Copies of this chain bind each other. A is one copy, B any other.
């Protein structure tokens, strides 16, 4: 039983991989003998029959195996890995279209039901964080993993359709794009791929990446990780914040419209106020300048801990109000004051704001941030000086502008925040398989 039956190996299947449970569930019950591998999710022993639900993580669904002799199922315990041979057949029961009439069963890896840490009853979030090596075996964490994969595919599709090239940018860098703290000497772990994508987008006009990024802040919020994945897109020949927003909005709507049984599984508990369905419609998301946003906040009558003031950064409470109460959905806030933004953002004609945007979404706050990049060398050099940065360090960056530099811009989106929004998952620590945050690293 250590090999697949020969008749299952097709000459046109050079991988010789067996069928996954997803493939079995998608196939027609044609009464042939098949072999199925997976883990036992539950066992139901009756007097003259037994049932076992089997999963292999390729789908949120389980395959029901039926044992006409309950004795054969007595070796099965939750969590054990098994190989079952049997006939796939239409199921007379409700709840599944087909089932596996088991003929033989082999336990590949036993699982002691007394000591198995992943018990059937609800386990707390904190308990699962402590069992990082096993939590992916729960329905929720399996669904998160598959949802990440599905969303990635959707993003690849969007960017390929629009002629963006996927590029790999360095993790160890001599730059410090956001003025974050050092994580290790003498080089930095990257906080953003933007500057490197700018290099590439000045030759390969449209480029994107999904790269690990790092923050050394001691943040303990539900929206921050020390190590997270950021989608960044950068392209040449864009000349307005509106056009940046168009691409960001189209890319996210592409993701919002995907079909995912895993998202459905995760969302079953969340209330509709996240407005995901409305957000996916053709209706454009509202856009408002920072200046107008401050005005709306001031006249809202809401009590804020920090009074909204022109020139100050938007606080989380302000961002929440704008998305949750004002727009009741995603909203772009554009053209922030120059003084509170990084040196590379393009100066607007009013000389006091820069050509940038943040996308705020309900419950999450900032999901995306982007800008046109200053492509005029003298203005860029002035900004570097004004912010007290080392001109020598950024010489290559200004040189990009001196030799055929094109107007360009782009945006970055926290991938775990996107998953958090899509799945209605409260904390980004549950949106990544092995989370790292301040003071915490398992595995």
Interface residues in chain A, defined as those with a beta carbon under 8 Å from any beta carbon in chain B? 2-3, 14-18, 20, 22-23, 37-40, 56-58, 79-81, 83, 108-112, 116-118, 132-134, 136-137, 141-142, 145-146, 148-149, 152-153, 156, 160, 162-163, 165-175, 183-185, 187, 189, 195-196, 199-200, 202-206, 212, 214, 226-227, 229, 235-237, 239-240, 243, 246-247, 249-251, 253, 375, 396-397, 399-407, 432-434, 436, 441-443
Distance of A14 Cα from B243 Cα, bound (Å): 10
Check if A204 sits within 8 Å of B57, measured CB to CB.
yes
* Chain B residue nearest to A377 in the complex (CB): B109
* Chain B residue nearest to A246 in the complex (CB): B16
Quickly give the copy total for this chain.
Answer: 2
Check if B236 sits within 8 Å of A37, measured CB to CB.
yes
* Minimum Cβ distance to chain B for residue A182 (Å): 10
- List, sorted by A's number, 30 A–B pairs whose CB atoms are closer than 8 Å: A2-B239, A14-B249, A15-B251, A37-B205, A37-B406, A38-B205, A39-B404, A56-B205, A57-B206, A58-B205, A81-B237, A108-B406, A109-B403, A109-B407, A116-B404, A117-B403, A132-B199, A133-B399, A134-B400, A136-B199, A136-B200, A136-B202, A145-B204, A156-B156, A167-B433, A170-B443, A172-B441, A173-B441, A173-B443, A184-B185
Q: Chain B contacts of A404 at CB under 8 A?
A: 39-40, 79-81, 109-111, 116
Check if A196 sits within 8 Å of B253, measured CB to CB.
no
Check if A204 sits within 8 Å of B58, measured CB to CB.
yes
Check if B133 sits within 8 Å of A400, measured CB to CB.
yes
Distance of A142 Cα from B249 Cα, bound (Å): 28
Check if A142 sits within 8 Å of B204, measured CB to CB.
yes
* Minimum Cβ distance to chain B for residue A224 (Å): 15
Q: Chain B contacts of A118 at CB under 8 A?
A: 403
Check if A22 sits within 8 Å of B163, measured CB to CB.
yes
Distance of A14 Cα from B161 Cα, bound (Å): 12
Q: Chain B contacts of A2 at CB under 8 A?
A: 239-240
* Minimum Cβ distance to chain B for residue A289 (Å): 19
* Minimum Cβ distance to chain B for residue A424 (Å): 20
Given A17-B162, A108-B406, A112-B402, 6 other A-B residues pairs in contact with their CB atoms under 8 A: A22-B163, A80-B404, A148-B167, A173-B441, A196-B433, A396-B443
Q: A81-B406, A204-B136, A433-B200 are in contact. Are A443 and B175 (CB under 8 A)?
A: yes
- Select which of B133, B235, B402 is within 8 A of A199 by beta carbon: B133
Q: Chain B contacts of A406 at CB under 8 A?
A: 37, 39, 81, 108-109
Check if B227 sits within 8 Å of A170, measured CB to CB.
yes
Closest 5 CB pairs of A and B: A57-B204, A184-B184, A111-B404, A81-B406, A37-B237
